[in-house]
Structure 1
């Protein structure tokens, strides 16, 4: 006896008893979804209908009756991806993941040419300080939100490429929470352009401002079909101030609702990764920290400072909402950081995607804690109390009320991310790149510990039991991991040393320019007024020249130290090329001559010639504007 789905009873598969238009379960292998009591049916033969959403799916051996117009392929695909569908609540295999990806791609393709929802809010409610390269995403109810691209220069174009960044502060005060931390960063989206530097660049997006009350209400109410009264700049509820007093879970609800709304109504407005639109989430700690410091827009030495570089004469108070006199302000009330991001410090604490962790020296401690907050808030005594390392924890729940924690000083800033793998081709590429990396580090491990590698090879050849082979494989993997860690540590050291040489060279050049100017003025004044007292100017000149000598000697000592400690000249060549690429990607071409001088001095030092301090000053004087 066959079920209405075409499967025989007793075949080991559950099936509906009655008809596919009756309550029950259809067990067609490609479907596995609950069949709801019918209110609509599909036109296509051999299909079943989820009456609650009119989702038509193939179901062999049955004809569906005509009663409702068929949905388009894009609409069916989008509804198949609804989180309420029961078949999505079950574990999804790798093949199933790619089927879902194909469905999403098909839905996006069918909707790509649709007009984006109209943005009707006044521009000042969306972006008080618009820039030509802002990314603007629509919101329900005619609203929108502005984003800034955060570019991440990478050494190669590969899928596994990333770059090291150092966050935190080097001082032990509050080191348990914000000490120096070495981490790695990449990003999903490719900038437009065909140049070599653009091809090696990736970017993510971060909201230009904190989410406002107007924007939060538009999503939470508008996605339910209840648009609030059109917001105004002088809204009595402070609609242009950051949305606070929401829990981390409510922040996730906001992001999920907005992402779903965008995918259904304006998928073409989202940046794409591997042909699939991105999605909205909270930023990671690394993403927030990198963007707060100015990312690739600032120099390596500027990136390590507690505050992004400020223009001459600027005060921290110009950029940070902090102190009792400020209170909570409208978004964009202060000046932006170098990436065009407002209120990164002060105003409201910003929730991160991952939980808070303590610092165990220069690494994170193993326990995952409560809600991680970055940036500080307006209750700080002054702007000087806050920095890009400011980091704290909020409890996940209020133990007195039993409710998720909500704080009047905490808000959210939106990031746009993407899946790491969105196609079978991406999986193949990741596997190929990883195998190449593993082979490379295995060679390094053999070079670092030839005796151990030889012993492992011999033992593996004679091992017969599965447990012994597994243990040998584990030891080999550990040696490979150690080789990777060693090489990455060496690479980081070489990069840091090259950046230090460029920083010293730039300082030496600037000091020598000033000294030359003072010397010229002294000469002219001596001729114009022979009896004039110029002792103070001469003392100033002597002080500048002493500074030049001290920094030139430090530069020379660093050169000598690098030559003594450099394990592999190929490592220097690789680091130099990566440094050059990073400078070009960041638009810091004025630093390229400094890098060239440092590399030339390293080469000369390797052959036994180290420039004298005076020669060092002259060469940087020539190439420093």
Structure 2
């Protein structure tokens, strides 16, 4: 099969010759029928263009990535789509705390595919249809030809990481699914839903089977509403080829046997009830001895960059790798007892390395190295879980601070109103007594919630060290910003400052904490 693919690749390279001359610019409807803020547009031959969207991801360092859960909960498709953990990281720096990769806003259409063919064609509206009926390798060749054209004709417009410019390819399954579900634009609680959040009926977002939707044929790109990440037609219309080979699901991981390639998202023959973000279908590379083509299959591209993009990046990667699975240095001791204990702390991973180096027996040396590696993995998994838990604690603290602020302001207003009614009607008035009873219940609820709020501060201070809390606070701020939860940023900052102050001086200041949360509530 590999040799056959190589022959097809070589043949395709001779068949597809990108013209360097350009015709008149295309009408916008041909390449970006629904312009939006944040669109990233790259030129194409023949006066054309292709539009991409940034998929943002929090950045904590060269070897840190963002954990997500992919797949679905449909029992009938569990062998292929069962929930499993995955990780994703961006290719380019957005800022110091955020990275991104680029994914096509629309499926590659016929005009764009033809622009990298043998000759330019006059723009026409029927060329807005997604390019279908091509092989997986032809899609890859298209990405290669377009990458080469951009690097020769528009390299100044490409994003860079270190010394490397971006290039195009098919998306991986995780890149495709993360973007399809809406990425960080979707609240975590809704990320794993069957389809991305829709403010209208599905027919306004997805071309599926039936006369009320696609009516048995592909539709022009960008005619329907986008998903939360600004992507059109990621579900329905034509299913989309991805880079990965198909593998079965083994509960928490993919099975070891690779097969054909994968298509995602469903197409115009998929029933509405079957549309789902987790759908992944295996497709053979060959059918009846010929490369597989289908009218229902198309593709979109991603732009990424090599991982080892510069010598500086490689040095940083090596340093980050050496820190993986190691025991973090203890914080500066704050008491004599802690200082004495700190002297006895050693890194067990490093200690195992010393012992294995000193071992004379080769078999024992290998066994000790295996133990060391397993210990590093275990420690790293523990640290990753600890970071996620710390971020969850900070997020909970932000929500609790917001609720405390709202409830506290409500109680203050109720107390003021009660004093006014007592002055006007007397303390024995039935209406006054009723309000007094409600206020008493509200005060009790606020006191109980304030106690729970204080317990979260004391608990987080006891469990997590300052470095982990600081790192995860920065990640949380990035997430809240990217998810358009800016209203929570002040509460998150207040909770973190209260927590840091308590860690420095363990004094429970419930009333002061409540007043600080109330001060943020403007209503």
2:209 to 323, 328, 332: 323
Aligned CA distance change for structure 1 residues 147 and 563 (closer, same or farther; 3 Å): closer
CA distance in 2, matches of 1:466, 1:409: 58
CA distance in 2, matches of 1:431, 1:562: 35
Deviation sequence 1:427-460 (CA, Å, 0-9, x none)? 333223323446556999x999979769846743
2:31 counterpart of 1:164:
no
- Are the equivalent residues in 2 in contact too, given 1:167–1:181 (CA < 8 A)? yes
5+ residue gaps, structure 2: 1-8, 11-19, 332-341, 418-423, 425-434
CA distance in 2, matches of 1:180, 1:588: 27
2:306 counterpart of 1:419:
yes
Deviates more, 1:315-324 or 1:474-483: 315-324
2:78 counterpart of 1:180:
no
CA distance in 2, matches of 1:368, 1:478: 26
User: 1:519 Cα shift?
Assistant: 13
User: 1:487 Cα shift?
Assistant: 0.7
- Are the equivalent residues in 2 in contact too, given 1:355–1:368 (CA < 8 A)? yes
Aligned CA distance change for structure 1 residues 611 and 348 (closer, same or farther; 3 Å): farther
2:262 to 356, 369, 372: 372
CA distance in 2, matches of 1:321, 1:517: 52
Tell me the SS of whatever aligns to 1:346. Answer: coil
1:218 to 110, 115, 120: 115
- Are the equivalent residues in 2 in contact too, given 1:448–1:483 (CA < 8 A)? no
2:290 maps to what in 1? 403
Tell me the SS of whatever aligns to 1:231. Answer: coil
- Are the equivalent residues in 1 in contact too, given 2:224–2:233 (CA < 8 A)? yes
Q: Rg bigger for which structure?
A: 1
2:30 maps to what in 1? 125
2:322 maps to what in 1? 435
CA distance in 1, matches of 2:451, 2:179: 32
User: 1:353 Cα shift?
Assistant: 1.1
2:366 maps to what in 1? 470
2:97 to 186, 200, 205: 200
Matches within 5 A, 1:203-282: 203-219=100-116, 221=117, 224=118, 226-227=119-120, 229-233=121-125, 235=126, 239-282=127-170
CA distance in 2, matches of 1:514, 1:306: 38
1:13 maps to what in 2? none
2:385 counterpart of 1:482:
no
CA distance in 2, matches of 1:380, 1:508: 48
Aligned CA distance change for structure 1 residues 261 and 573 (closer, same or farther; 3 Å): closer
CA distance in 2, matches of 1:172, 1:443: 46
Matches within 5 A, 1:131-170: 131=36, 133-155=38-60, 158-169=61-72
Aligned CA distance change for structure 1 residues 230 and 499 (closer, same or farther; 3 Å): same
CA distance in 2, matches of 1:511, 1:350: 49
2:275 maps to what in 1? 386
- Are the equivalent residues in 2 in contact too, given 1:292–1:337 (CA < 8 A)? yes
2:260 counterpart of 1:363:
no
User: 1:335 Cα shift?
Assistant: 0.8
> TM-score, normalising length from structure 1?
0.63
CA distance in 1, matches of 2:329, 2:256: 28
Q: CA RMSD in A?
A: 4.5
1:352 to 228, 242, 245: 242
> TM-score, normalising length from structure 2?
0.74
- Are the equivalent residues in 1 in contact too, given 2:450–2:510 (CA < 8 A)? no
Deviates more, 1:256-265 or 1:583-592: 583-592
Deviation sequence 1:48-82 (CA, Å, 0-9, x none)? xxxxxxxxxxxxxxxxxxxxxxxxxxxxxxxxxxx
CA distance in 2, matches of 1:440, 1:206: 38
Highest RCO, 1 vs 2 (Cα 8 Å, sep ≥ 6): 2
User: 1:255 Cα shift?
Assistant: 1.1
Aligned CA distance change for structure 1 residues 352 and 479 (closer, same or farther; 3 Å): same
Deviation sequence 1:384-420 (CA, Å, 0-9, x none)? 54333x2222222344x12233232221011111111
Tell me the SS of whatever aligns to 2:229. Answer: coil
User: 1:319 Cα shift?
Assistant: 1.7
Aligned CA distance change for structure 1 residues 618 and 275 (closer, same or farther; 3 Å): closer
1:572 maps to what in 2? 469
CA distance in 1, matches of 2:367, 2:131: 53
CA distance in 2, matches of 1:408, 1:189: 34
Aligned CA distance change for structure 1 residues 595 and 357 (closer, same or farther; 3 Å): farther
CA distance in 1, matches of 2:163, 2:173: 27
Deviation sequence 1:101-147 (CA, Å, 0-9, x none)? xxxxxxxxxxxxxx995662212111101235422222233322111
Deviation sequence 1:538-582 (CA, Å, 0-9, x none)? 9xx99xx8xx99x96997699389559936464334322331244
Aligned CA distance change for structure 1 residues 406 and 472 (closer, same or farther; 3 Å): same
- Are the equivalent residues in 1 in contact too, given 2:327–2:348 (CA < 8 A)? no
User: 1:170 Cα shift?
Assistant: 5.4
Aligned CA distance change for structure 1 residues 503 and 188 (closer, same or farther; 3 Å): same
2:223 maps to what in 1? 333
User: 1:287 Cα shift?
Assistant: 1.6
Aligned CA distance change for structure 1 residues 455 and 299 (closer, same or farther; 3 Å): closer
Paired residues, what number? 473
